[in-house]
Chains A and B, each alone.
Chain A
Amino acid sequence: MPSGTPILAVSGLRFAYGDIVAIDGVDLTVPPGRIGLVGANGAGKTTLLKILLGVLPPAAGSVSVLGHPLEHGAIEIRSRVGWMPEGECLPPDQTAADFLGYAAELGGLPPRAARQRASDVLGLVGLHEERFRYIGEFSTGMKQRAKLAQAIVHDPELVLLDEPTAGLDPDGREEMLDLVTRLEDFGINAVISSHVLTDIERTCDWVIMLDGGHVLRSGPLSDLSTTDEAELEVIGDLDAVAAAAERLGAVVQREGSSLVITRSDGDAFDIARDAVVAAGAAIRRLGARRTTLEDVFLGAGGGDG
């Protein structure tokens, strides 16, 4: 794929399960990197991933994955894409090494290279010691790691991860998020679907918000999470600082022990500084207010109903 080519380009995409419209008029252009796909249950995340993989045929619109149009056939795309489904996908009666080797061969690798890759990838996901155990004997966390391993064992350029932290305890979740973060070091782009917004905040650099089959927002996470609002903590009388800021023309909102200062026609940081001076207080912390993905998601109307 030439550098600069979007990993996903979707235009006018529509898909319905019978009368139920799951994806409706989706347009997306997504650059390489780690892409978060967020939305409530039923928002259309899994449906969109299955369309990208060529498993579900779109009712309308065009889809291009890694610069390859889906209309020209999904086989070419699948050679270069990995898929980690949300549910079970591992045979319990095979060892991890055997299944991973087989999964690599199914991805088009020659048998010898497949066995080597299976061993390497099981090491990368922390299952090297367990590679000759039957998958049926694995814990939930180990199965999730094996699922990730099968998705990357054929060295894809893009991997689609559907709820990779589902069912994991806090430690397992941390390990999985670390692995997902490392995918970029491996040169693998990732689309990570999740309804856990903090997981996306932690692992992704681009986010697509889906709700009811529509895209609410799509853009760099940094653009979505930074604002021109100042967040101020002071040593001294917080109410006096708030009153001073309001006298200077700012809109002030109190959040716990902090003030969020907004000024429509100027720099909120100047107001914060002047208000602190006017109230005779001192600055404990002053910085740009960072919104969470949840704020943005709810602000954009996501999760209604």
Chain B
Amino acid sequence: MAEGVVFDLGYRPHEGERLGRSGARRALYKDGVRRVLGLRRKARRKVFPIALIGTALVPALFFVALGVIAGEFDQAATLFDHPQYFDLTGSMALVFIALASGELLIPDRVHGTLQVYASRPLTTIDYLIGRAAALATVVIGFLWLPHVVLFLGRAWVSSEGFGSYVTAEAEVLLTTLLASVGYFAAFAPLAFAVASVSKRASLAAGVFLGIVTISGPTSAALVDAGFPSMGLFSLQHHPGYVKDWIMSSSTHSWIPERAGYEPILSVAVILTVAVASWLVVLFRQRRST
């Protein structure tokens, strides 16, 4: 029988490079992206994000495939031009942000892992920026990727030729990216604020979704009842209104629009809610640490 030999290498101090605070920030960001996508976690943690991303991509892939098989198609007839695509992915992003925000903030607090962060070369603001940047990467990527696929697919089947289509329509990539940022800015800070005061991710997601979805019909009813200023409280409708403004389209009768407000006011509301939410998160995080 062969005998194993155990070599005790003892303790080997780290004598290489140390990256300090910048390395810690990068690690935090990477961990956030992995956590949102369920990577290096149990299989069930991966199911929801991958299913959602897959579902968001399906229409783009379908129309690209249709175009490849049947040749160039009438974009208007598909009902799935870029602005309309946000009506599908925007709602999905809302659910995704609701769940991912809780997953990013709550376990660290509940399981005491914040104490590990507190012992590393990071500040509270580093921690929050790292978490927000991870969520932004995934959410903006999730919102924007289908547009990139659709854009490249249309360029591929375009009768003008790939290069000509890309040159002529490149602005779409910028406007869809801006609109994606708008959706993130409208929903994520509020979701973080709710997550920062909750002990359970599912509860935080439910409360956040409740606030946002109820805000739409409630403000619509109040606007219709003669209180136009309540149109500003329609949290669900601001990013769509801003998206239509950016993309020069009109896909819906948005409540702030019905109340007579300009899109720039919706931008102001989004920024105000974001700043207020950020302050709540910062206050809560400092107390937790």
Contacts and interface: CB of A to CB of B under 8 A. Distances in A.
Interface of A: 53, 55, 75-76, 78-79, 81-83, 85, 87-95, 98, 102-103, 105-111, 113-114, 117, 120, 124, 134, 150-151, 154-155, 185-187
Given A92-B111, A105-B27, A120-B9, A75 B121 contact: yes
A88 B16 contact: no
Contacts of A110: 16-17, 19, 23
12 contacts: A78-B121, A83-B116, A85-B112, A88-B111, A89-B112, A102-B27, A103-B120, A106-B120, A108-B18, A154-B120, A155-B14, A187-B11
Interface in B11-39: 11-14, 16-21, 23-24, 26-28, 30-31
Nearest to A185: B11
A103 B121 contact: no
Nearest to B103: A93
Interface centre among B26, B28, B42, B112 (most CB of A within 10 A): B112
Contacts of A113: 14, 16-17
B113 interface: yes
Interface in B40-87: 40-42, 45
A79 B17 CA distance: 12
Contacts of B118: 53, 55, 83
A93 B41 contact: yes
Contacts of B123: 75
A85 B115 contact: yes
A124 B121 CA distance: 24
Given A88-B111, A93-B45, A102-B31, A117 B14 contact: yes
A94 B40 contact: yes
B289 interface: yes
A230 B285 CA distance: 57
Interface centre among B19, B24, B115, B123 (most CB of A within 10 A): B115
Contact of A93 (B11, B21, B107): B107
Nearest to A97: B40
B122 interface: yes
Given A108-B18, A120-B12, A87 B112 contact: yes
B121 A79 contact: yes
A93 B121 CA distance: 24
A83 B113 CA distance: 12
A146 to B, nearest CB: 11
